[in-house]
Chain A
């Protein structure tokens, strides 16, 4: 088991966002989380990486096991080093070049010698098709290129699992394809991925598991075929009908 989440709860003030979600992810799984906005998908993802502190529940990443409310700094840092996060709005370090963005977590976070880090960083950028942009600053890159740097930054640290938070939602439509293409390649290479997205084609073609969330709980989960061809729950059916009509 690569990642196991048990009974996660999270509230913001009086708003209960997550009401007991369990997820298990095996090595090599590509899991897509679908759901209407406000259903708690992004919060769920952010809690895994402790960008939000969940109120209750347990997490196990590889051999690190802890509970959300008791996890100490050391555990959190260890979990963050085993996971990588791709942000909706890229969140590239504005003061670093593309290569600097990718090597930061290696050199500073993981104390990998600089020369080695640069080698790994260049490989990661090559992989996302940005061999000619090593020295470009985020302000010089298009949205699609920035998000590909974001993905390179995630794969460079060789994480057990990559968390994608709506990686294409902030992109112009014509730039979505290049990012999905990179994600498709990673999936084919057997990378373990947990993806929150509204890209139905990606969910259908690339994922091997689809989770439908609504109102802080998992309504239904299954293979893409099960979810898309024969959803059992009414809420899933309604959601898919709305989305797929567009």
Chain B
């Protein structure tokens, strides 16, 4: 093992790590696309205390929040294949469980995980929008759906956005745990590159930098969006 950093390896591996970015972002986008509407709807069930669904959301949130993501990954990654195998056999699907791309398991784990986080984010955000806003929308002749689309959701979003940003950044970082399902994302790619020459320090620096760059970029984009959405709040009388 050399005591000096191998700069050539550092630079080469940076691009190797970078090549894992599309996978990390794909998982993030898929998980968010599923979790945003689902989290919002389940948050509504909690606020309106809908029977069954509300209790379900509450228990669901506790389960997800009370367990480490890595454990959730192990559970899904080890249990879903068994389930799939039975289904494949029963319906005679000519496909082997081990042919299934691990990214599908990642979609499942991270969607479930992010949904739980967003339920809580939306629950607090929705409750900051006063009941009067919905009543006023009803009074001017909007349907409930129109009222939500035009009045409630835009205001909820402004309040929720900083927390959605945090959830997104956490999600991007959490995709690094995908290595545990042999998912070829940022972390695993750099680590594999480091294996032959034991250049782990260089590889970890690269991984560190790649996550830092993506997450900062995402934060910046969220800030821009937040500024645009909340223009009605920034104005001073």
Are the C-beta atoms of B235 and A109 separated by less than 8 Å? no
The CA-CA distance from A137 to B236 in the complex, in Å, is: 10
Are the C-beta atoms of B141 and A91 separated by less than 8 Å? no
Q: Mark A77-110, 1 if CB is under 8 A from B, else 0.
A: 1001101110101011111110000001100111
Say what secondary structure dominates the interface of chain B. helix
Tell me whether A49 and B139 are in contact in the complex, defined as CB-CB below 8 angstroms, given that A91-B132, A108-B150 are known contacts: yes
A23 in contact (CB, < 8 A): no
Are the C-beta atoms of A84 and B155 separated by less than 8 Å? no
The CA-CA distance from A51 to B36 in the complex, in Å, is: 29
Are the C-beta atoms of A139 and B141 separated by less than 8 Å? no
If A85-B135, A109-B146, A139-B237 are given as contacts, then 20 extra A-B residue pairs at C-beta distance below 8 Å, sorted by A number, are A80-B138, A80-B139, A83-B139, A87-B135, A91-B136, A93-B137, A93-B150, A94-B155, A94-B233, A95-B155, A96-B151, A96-B232, A104-B137, A104-B142, A105-B140, A108-B142, A109-B142, A139-B233, A139-B235, A140-B236
Of all chain A residues, the one with the shortest Cβ separation from B157 is: A95
Of all chain A residues, the one with the shortest Cβ separation from B153 is: A95
Are the C-beta atoms of B237 and A87 separated by less than 8 Å? no
Which chain B positions have C-beta within 8 A of A110?
A: 141
Are the C-beta atoms of B235 and A157 separated by less than 8 Å? no
Are the C-beta atoms of B146 and A141 separated by less than 8 Å? no
Which chain B positions have C-beta within 8 A of A138?
A: 232
Tell me whether A95 and B232 are in contact in the complex, defined as CB-CB below 8 angstroms, given that A51-B135, A87-B135, A89-B132 are known contacts: yes
Which chain B positions have C-beta within 8 A of A141?
A: 237
Q: How far is the CB of B38 from chain A (nearest CB, A)?
A: 24
Tell me whether A87 and B132 are in contact in the complex, defined as CB-CB below 8 angstroms, given that A94-B232, A140-B237 are known contacts: yes
B170 in contact (CB, < 8 A): no
The CA-CA distance from A157 to B233 in the complex, in Å, is: 27
Which chain B positions have C-beta within 8 A of A77?
A: 141, 143
A-B contact pairs, 21 of them (CB 8 A): A49-B139, A51-B135, A80-B138, A80-B139, A80-B141, A84-B139, A85-B136, A91-B130, A92-B136, A94-B155, A94-B233, A105-B140, A105-B141, A109-B141, A137-B232, A137-B235, A139-B232, A139-B233, A141-B237, A142-B237, A153-B140
Interface residues on A, range: 20 to 34
Which chain B positions have C-beta within 8 A of A51?
A: 135, 138-139
The CA-CA distance from A162 to B218 in the complex, in Å, is: 48
Selected from A81, A91, A137, the residue in CB contact (under 8 A) with B135 is A91
Of all chain A residues, the one with the shortest Cβ separation from B236 is: A140
Q: How far is the CB of B155 from chain A (nearest CB, A)?
A: 5
B154 in contact (CB, < 8 A): yes
Which chain B positions have C-beta within 8 A of A137?
A: 232, 235
Q: How far is the CB of A213 from chain B (nearest CB, A)?
A: 22
Are the C-beta atoms of A84 and B140 separated by less than 8 Å? yes
Which chain B positions have C-beta within 8 A of A139?
A: 232-233, 235, 237
